[in-house]
Amino acid sequence: MEFKKSPDGGWGWVIVLVSFFTQFLCYGSPLAVGVLYIEWLDTFGEGKGKTAWVGSLASGVGLLARLGCGLLYTATVTITCQYFDSHRGLALGLISTGSSVGLFIYAALQRLLIEFYGLDGCLLIVGALALNILACGSLMRPLESSDCPLPEKTALESVPDRYSIYSEKGKDLEENTNVLGKSYGAEETRKSTLASGGRKQESLLHKNPATVAHAKEAETYKKKVAEQTYFCKQLAKRKWQLYKDYCGETVALFKNKVFSALFIAIFLFDIGGFPPSLLMEDVARSSNVKEEELIMPLISIIGIMTAVGKLLLGILADFKWINTLHLYVATLVIMGLALCAIPFAKSYVTLAILSGILGFLTGNWSIFPYVTTKTVGIEKLAHAYGILMFFAGLGNSLGPPIVGWFYDWTQTYDTAFYFSGFCVLLGGFILLLAALPSWDTCNKLLPRPAPTTFLYKVTSNV
């Protein structure tokens, strides 16, 4: 389906605003879960690996609420990409800062709510705030198809399948009627079959109008049931065909080597890159950083710098001379190195600097939809992005428990963050190798110019 030309403004800025608040309300609390992680450690008294499952599931794919957040994120990104083309990077940067601003505000807010209302009261209030997402969603208007307006929904009998259902009037419909007639009963079948035969039967029917009415009613009923049976068969065939088409499109996506590398990179990035936002507060406590030294919570620093990174990286993505995929790979490589440097940070200042660097580089989420669009095209964005977000959520769920288990095993975070850095670096290098031959894979389908055309151009220039 082809959409209308992106307006690059107009109602698109309303979409940006409501998408910003949607991500603010949806992801602010889950990303600031590091504040709650300390409370859970003290409340449950379990190991860091087991306790980290609570936070990772809150920000991954394990809970119903996170399923809703995943749907909201994909919806806000997809509709923004439809409304913007030349300013797409800026628009994506603006909406994605919503989650970072939410992280900064919710980190402080949740501490206050826990202090006044306890852990349970804090979670209830956060859930009530999230209901405002309904108001944001009511303002989102998807772009219509460029060839014709979207058809109105009709009754069950009037769905598009009707054109194929009732055009085949002969064999299948009669088959269904005959089968139904046989199962209706031997006596009714005999009356129906002999109704057009001899005078004796006709006179009998004329003498008994109730029998005639009953026979007509039974015939009408059988015909309706036969039609509905055939309709259901056709509907099932159509749905099965849609399912096969979806599977075929998914296989076609993974045949694109850049998309496959992007899938691996985002999975490894979320395994290694998400734990700092959950565990950095505990890292500071494990490094014997005193409470009075914490001028600002490390998670708040991550939130502020993530917002800055999303905005600046989104603006950079709009420059034609910048290869967005290479920019994304650069953020992965530098982030992997920063993660490996965390074990060497033993003071609040060094941890704050590394938190700022990690936060800024986590802002590459603003250019990730841009990279996906360039890789698969705007028509396949929703399908491809849904797949990528599922595995990103899976990485979010696995990363913190793995890091926590490393701590329980070694009683230090050093090995854990070396592992995290290695995962992010590996994903970056895989994506770089896949992208080296060609960046704009969407243009691969275009025919290459013939040698004669090239020779003609050279001659004309001479």
- Cβ atoms within 10 Å, residue 321: 4
Radius of gyration, alpha carbons of the chain: 31
User: What's the CA gap between 85 and 87, in Å, rounded?
Assistant: 5
Q: What is the mean pLDDT of residues 34-39?
A: 75
Residue 453 has pLDDT above 60, yes or no: no
- Give me the pLDDT at residue 97, please: 83
When pLDDT is cut at 50, 70 and 90, the band that residue 146 belongs to is: low
Q: For residue 354, what are the contacts with CB-CB under 8 A and spacing of at least 6?
A: 338, 341, 342, 345
- Give me the pLDDT at residue 403, please: 81
User: What's the CA gap between 269 and 394, in Å, rounded?
Assistant: 11
The overall average pLDDT reported for the chain is 75
Of the candidates 37, 33, 28, 29, the residue with the CA atom closest to the CA atom of residue 286? 37
Structure tokens at 449: 């110019």
For 63: left if phi > 0, alpha if psi spans -120 to 50, otherwise beta; the answer is beta
- Give me the pLDDT at residue 422, please: 94
Q: For residue 268, what are the contacts with CB-CB under 8 A and spacing of at least 6?
A: 395, 423, 424, 426, 427, 430
User: What's the CA gap between 326 and 328, in Å, rounded?
Assistant: 5
For the chain, percent of residues with pLDDT exceeding 90: 13
Model confidence pTM above 0.85: no
Residue 180 has pLDDT above 70, yes or no: no
Handedness of CA 337, 343, 347, 351 (dihedral sign): positive
Of the candidates 166, 388, 386, the residue with the CA atom closest to the CA atom of residue 261? 388
- Cβ atoms within 10 Å, residue 460: 7
Q: How many residues does the chain have?
A: 462
Hey, what amino acid is at 83?
Answer: Y
Structure tokens at 459: 């001659």
When pLDDT is cut at 50, 70 and 90, the band that residue 390 belongs to is: confident
Higher pLDDT, 56 or 331: 331
- Give me the pLDDT at residue 203, please: 53
Higher pLDDT, 45 or 161: 45
User: What's the CA gap between 353 and 344, in Å, rounded?
Assistant: 12
Highest mean pLDDT pick, 117-131, 205-219, 269-283? 117-131
Of the candidates 42, 40, 74, 72, the residue with the CA atom closest to the CA atom of residue 56? 40
- Give me the pLDDT at residue 158, please: 43
Higher pLDDT, 221 or 361: 361
Exposed / middle / buried, residue 103 (Cβ in 10 Å: 0-12, 13-18, 19+):
buried
Q: What is the mean pLDDT of residues 204-233?
A: 71
Higher pLDDT, 107 or 56: 107
- Cβ atoms within 10 Å, residue 299: 27
Helix (H, G, I), strand (E, B) or coil at 255: helix
When pLDDT is cut at 50, 70 and 90, the band that residue 160 belongs to is: very low
For the chain, percent of residues with pLDDT exceeding 70: 72
Higher pLDDT, 167 or 314: 314
Of the candidates 207, 205, 186, 208, the residue with the CA atom closest to the CA atom of residue 197? 205
Higher pLDDT, 285 or 171: 285
- Give me the pLDDT at residue 59, please: 54
Q: Contact at 8 Å (CB) between 392 and 270?
A: yes
User: What's the CA gap between 142 and 208, in Å, rounded?
Assistant: 62
Residue 220 has pLDDT above 80, yes or no: no
